[in-house]
Structure formats: structure tokens, C-alpha cells
């Protein structure tokens, strides 16, 4: 994608996540998670435990895996797994770490201005460097990078670009919900997901849309449409696919797709700069 990234004065994005996935390290334990947190220093005072995320690999062609409807996923592990979520003192950033994943979140709910990708990326790459140094210091081995990831979470509150469920289709360039299938029926709720290849087999764009009720301090109790776009792709030095170029591709894919998927009326509300 070569089109210029769209600009908005009032974008609906409330969270941006940049991520690195690497092959789990045999010597990495839950104790190392606490040690890494301590090395972040006093600017990162708050930590909580969270369930681990499974390894995600985007596959294509003969390697692509089609999951059967209703199939359950099992993972055999030899030792307990854990993820930590560490928040910055300003509550506008979060670092998440587990054996095999490093994520850096910008959190818009803290009330600050929108942090653009160009400002978030250096902070993320610094965390990657700090993790690399930590692994070397503790002789845990080198993290073999296998996938990049970037996510934009958008909240579309009721009373902005929509008022009732009948307005939902008008937020996008094509209908996203089916009409009532018969008399005496009205739409209650829905959820939808679409998945697109980033050609040629560079990655995949995952688009998710669902109604929700937020509990964040600045939007407490508001009904919203949550519009999430995630781009992921492989890291392969033999093909020249590295972390930074992958994140750049994912960012361009997401922001361009956001514009192509949303209606002109909605973009005008977010004050698109043409």
C-alpha cells in the first residue's frame, strides 16, 4: 500500500499496541518476569498478572490451517506460564511480557492527546532493546523473533457517529449487519470479524466489530461500537522481513484500511484532514 496515511483531528482510537513474538526460551521462568519489571525502574510502579497469550502464526498456502467450527485448542506445557502487565506512572503506557511475547500499549483512556505511531515506535523498540539486554545478562539465550503485530482499538460511542442500531450500517462504506429476517424481530446485538491477506503473503489484517459497554473512567457506562484492527506478519531474515519494516507495513495497512472501511460521514465527524 503506497497511499498517504489519513489524518484526523479527533480520531476514535483509544489504544495502540505494538508487539513482538519470539520462540519461547527454555530457561525463561516466571521469576524472570518479576526481575524484568524491577529493572524497568520507578517509572513503572504497577504490575498485575494476566493469562498468557498463545503463539500466533499467520500461515499461507499449503501451511494455512483451517480450524473446524467448534474445535477446541489444547496446549501442553511443562511449566506454568504467566504474562505480566506493567503500567507507567502516568497510566498512559503499558508493557506486557511473557515467555514468547513482548507488547507495548499506548492507553488513550488516561486522557492525554493521541500518541501517533511515529512517537510510539521508538518507545517500543527501546523495550525490545531492554529485553534483549536482559536476556543476555541473565544468560537466557537469544530471542528468535518470528512475528510482528500492531493493533488499533477504536471506540465509537453512542451519540457520535451513531445513535441507534439502525445507524450502524451508515458508519461504514458497506452494510455490517443483516436486516431483521422477519416481522416481529429487531436487532439486539451482533459481532463480526473479517480477515484479509496482506499480499503477497506478507501478513494478515484482522478486523473485528462488536457492540460493547465501556467501563473506562472517561466513558463509564457508555454504549459503544468497538472497532479493532490488527495486522500481523512473519519475521524472516532470509526473506528480508524484519520487525521494523513489518510494523511499518502493518501501520500503513491499518490506517489505510480504516479510511477505506469507514463512511465519509463518519470520517467528517472525526475531522479528517484532506
Task: For residue range 216-226, list pLDDT tens digits in order.
Answer: 655 557 899 99
Are residues 86 and 163 both part of a single domain? Answer: no
When pLDDT is averaged across residues 158-169 and rounded to a whole number, the result is 94
Q: Are residues 234 and 271 in the same domain?
A: yes
Do 114 and 132 have their domain in common?
yes
Domain boundary among 89, 122, 143: 143
pLDDT in tens, 134-148: 999 999 999 999 999
What DSSP character marks residue 256?
H
Residues 70-98 have pLDDT tens digits of 444 444 455 678 999 999 999 999 999 99
Q: Is residue 211 part of a domain?
A: yes
Integer CA distances (angstroms), 217 to 52, 94, 111, 220, 264, in order: 26, 17, 9, 5, 30
Count up the domains in the chain and report the number: 2
**pLDDT at 67 exceeding the cut of 60:** no
Q: In the predicted model, what is the mean pLDDT of residues 155-173?
A: 95
Q: What is the pTM of this model?
A: 0.90
Q: Is 110 part of any domain?
A: yes
In a domain, 66, yes or no: no
pLDDT tens digits along 18-47: 999 999 999 999 999 999 999 999 999 999
Same domain, 32 and 133: yes
* C-beta separation of 91 from 108 below 8 A: no
Mark whether 154 and 244 lie in a shared domain: yes
Torsion from C-alpha of 261, 265, 267, 271, nearest 10 degrees: 180
In a domain, 73, yes or no: no
- pLDDT tens profile 254-263: 999 999 999 9
> Is 258 among the domain residues?
yes
Q: Which domain holds residue 156?
A: 147-177+189-274
Cell triple for residue 251?
501501520
pLDDT at 103 over 60: yes
**Structural domain includes residue 12:** no
Distance CA(115)–CA(103), nearest Å, equals: 16
- The predicted structure's pLDDT at residue 186: 85
Please tell me whether residues 151 and 226 are part of one structural domain. Answer: yes
Same domain, 27 and 98: yes
**Is residue 197 domain-shared with residue 272, that is, in the same domain?**
yes
Amino acid at each position: 500500500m503506497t497511499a498517504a496515511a489519513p489524518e484526523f483531528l479527533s480520531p476514535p482510537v483509544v489504544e495502540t499496541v505494538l508487539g513482538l513474538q519470539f520462540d519461547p526460551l527454555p530457561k525463561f521462568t516466571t521469576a524472570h518476569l518479576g526481575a524484568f519489571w524491577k529493572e524497568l525502574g520507578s517509572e513503572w510502579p504497577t504490575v498485575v498478572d494476566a493469562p498468557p497469550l498463545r503463539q500466533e502464526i499467520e500461515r499461507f498456502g499449503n501451511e494455512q490451517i483451517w480450524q473446524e467450527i467448534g474445535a477446541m485448542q489444547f496446549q501442553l506445557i511443562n511449566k506454568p506460564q504467566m504474562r505480566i502487565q506493567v503500567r507507567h506512572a502516568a497510566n498512559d503506557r503499558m508493557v506486557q511480557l511473557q515467555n514468547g511475547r513482548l507488547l507495548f500499549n499506548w492507553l488513550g483512556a488516561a486522557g492525554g492527546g493521541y500518541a501517533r505511531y511515529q512517537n510510539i515506535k521508538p518507545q517500543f523498540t527501546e523495550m525490545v532493546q531492554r529485553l534483549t539486554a536482559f536476556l543476555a545478562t541473565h544468560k537466557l539465550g537469544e530471542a528468535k523473533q518470528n512475528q510482528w503485530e500492531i493493533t488499533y482499538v477504536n471506540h465509537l460511542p453512542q451519540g457520535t457517529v451513531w445513535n441507534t442500531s439502525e445507524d450502524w450500517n451508515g458508519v461504514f462504506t458497506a452494510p455490517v449487519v443483516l436486516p431483521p429476517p422477519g416481522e416481529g424481530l429487531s436487532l439486539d446485538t451482533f459481532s463480526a470479524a473479517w480477515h484479509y491477506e496482506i499480499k503477497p503473503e506478507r501478513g494478515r489484517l484482522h478486523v473485528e466489530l462488536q457492540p460493547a459497554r465501556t467501563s473506562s473512567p472517561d466513558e463509564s457506562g457508555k454504549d459503544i461500537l468497538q472497532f479493532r484492527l490488527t495486522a500481523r506478519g512473519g519475521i524472516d531474515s532470509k526473506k528480508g522481513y524484519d520487525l521494523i519494516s513489518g510494523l511499518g507495513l502493518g501501520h500503513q495497512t491499518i490506517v489505510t484500511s480504516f479510511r477505506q472501511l469507514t463512511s465519509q460521514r463518519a470520517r467528517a465527524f472525526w475531522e479528517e484532514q484532506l
